[in-house]
Amino acid sequence: MQLIPMPLGPINPDVENLVVGVVLFAPLYLFVRRMLLRINRVLEERATLLDGVTGGPAAELRREAERIRAERAAMLAEARREAAHVRQRAREEGAVLIAAAREDGLRERDEALAAGQARVEAERASAETELRGQVSELASDLASRIVGEPLAAATGSGR
């Protein structure tokens, strides 16, 4: 059966085909409309978020966060600078202490060397005086060994 009772060719659809087309098109239309509404809602939310980033309360929060971050960076820089000063002072104090300890060590070494040299000189002098008294005896013993006969020790003082 034709929708229009005139012979129009392909632009005059059958009523059965038209009903089937409307029945199939209606759910498709409702589905696409529902999806388009969701897509529009997502796009609006996205636009709202983008507007929030570039301006509005989110931008204020971002500026506040940037200000706080800058303050913290300044505080950290100041703390690093102060720590560098403390380290420098500690190095200088350590160098002074090392120099003082080195001077003390050198002084003690010089004192120990002087005391050792004095002790060596005293022992050498005492050994020399002891040996000077025994020189004639030792000389006669040595001469006796060389000659092979016992010789009497001379009692003169040498030097």
For the chain, the maximum distance between any two Cα atoms, rounded to a whole number of angstroms, is 178
The SS3 of residue 89 is helix
Tokens of 139: 């000389």
Q: What is the mean pLDDT of each run of 10 residues along the chain (159 residues)?
A: 70 81 93 94 86 69 91 97 97 96 95 95 91 83 83 57
Measured CA to CA, the distance from residue 125 to residue 119 in angstroms comes to 10
Write the DSSP string, 17-52: HHHHHHHHHHHHHHHHHHHHHHHHHHHHHHHHHHHH
pLDDT at position 159 is 44
Backbone angles phi, psi at 2, to 5 degrees: -95, 145
Residue 2's SS3 state is strand
pTM of this structure: 0.40
Q: Which two tokens stand for residue 8?
A: 């129009």
Structure confidence at residue 5 (pLDDT): 73
- DSSP labels for 10-21? GGS-BHHHHHHH
For residue 155, what pLDDT is reported? 53
Instruction: Name residue, tokens 């190095």.
Output: 91
Length of the chain: 159
For residue 11, the model assigns a pLDDT of 76
Instruction: Give the pLDDT confidence score for residue 158 in this predicted structure.
Output: 45
C-alpha dist (Å) from residue 102 to 88, 109, 129: 21, 10, 40
